[in-house]
């Protein structure tokens, strides 16, 4: 039990990332407004990026930038940062595409509520 508390004390980033993942996931599935679904996807993806960057944390390290004469000393792991740059761009493209589809949905159906859209689509079919 004691080592669980110690582990909790050392890894708090991972727990907060998991809480944010659950918040984002639940929002996407349960809220009926489309913009809230898109915000939920963004929150879920940024929580995964937080998890990934927190992997590269080294105790007492400095940012992995070679300044003037900055040799030695522990550096933080630069690999997760490089991967997350790609991930953020992917997340922005998904958001942009979803927002474009949202505008089109409003033009066709006149409402932004997912439940009403399903009902309207079922009536006309």
Partner 1 sequence: MIYQLPVLIVVQLLLGSFIMPIVGRFKNQLIPYISLFLMGLSHVFSIILLFRVVQEGNIHYHLGNWAPPWGIEIVADLLGAYMAVIVTGIGFLVLVFAWRHIQREINYALRGWFYTLVLLIAGAMVGMVITNDLFNMYVMVEIVSLCGPALVAIRNNRLAVEAGFKYLIMIALGSGPILFGIALIYMITGHLNMTFAGQEVINAIQEYPRVALLAQAFFIVGFGVKAALFPLHVWLPDAYSYAPSPSSALLAGLAAKVYIVGLTRVLFNLYGIEMLSTTPLFTILKIMAVAGIIMGSIMALNQKDIKRLVAYSSVAQIGYIFLGLSLVTGFSVTGAVLHILNHALIKSMMFLCCGVIIYQKKTSNIDELGGVGKEFPITMICFGIGAFAMVGIPMLNGFISKWYISLGALEYGGLAGLMYLLVIILSSLLNGLYYLPVLIKAFLGGDSQKETQIDKAPITLILPIVILAAGIIILGLLPFVPLQIASDAAQHLLGQ
Partner 2 sequence: MAVLDLLLLSILVLCALAAVRTRDLLGAVIIYAAYSLLMAIIWLQLGSPDVAITEAALGAGVTTILMIATISKTGRYE
The answer to whether 41 touches 95, Cβ cutoff 8 Å, is: yes
List 20, 23, 39, 48, residue binding partner 1 (CB under 8 A): 48
Of 7 and 106, the one with the shorter C-beta distance to partner 2 is 106
Q: How far is residue 16 CA from its own chain's centroid? A: 12
Q: Which residues contact 39 (CB under 8 A, 6 or more apart)?
A: 27
Q: From CA 48, how far away is CA 57, in angstroms rounded?
A: 15
Q: Which residues bind partner 2 (CB under 8 A)?
A: 12-13, 16, 19-20, 23-24, 27, 31, 33, 35-36, 38-40, 42-43, 46, 49-50, 53-54, 56-57, 61-65, 76, 80-81, 84-85, 88-89, 92, 95-96, 99, 102-103, 106, 112
């Amino acid at each position: 039990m004691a080592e669980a508390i110690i582990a909790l004390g050392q890894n708090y980033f991972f727990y907060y990332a998991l809480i944010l993942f659950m918040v984002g996931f639940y929002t996407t599935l349960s809220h009926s407004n489309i913009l809230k679904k898109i915000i939920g996807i963004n929150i879920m993806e940024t929580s995964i990026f937080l998890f990934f960057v927190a992997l590269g944390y080294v105790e007492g390290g400095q940012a992995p930038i070679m300044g003037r004469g900055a040799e030695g000393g522990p550096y933080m792991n630069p690999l997760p940062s490089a991967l997350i740059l790609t991930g953020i761009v992917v997340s922005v493209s998904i958001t942009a595409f979803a927002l474009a589809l949202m505008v089109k949905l409003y033009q066709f159906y006149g409402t932004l509520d997912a439940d009403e859209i399903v009902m309207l689509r079922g009536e006309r079919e």
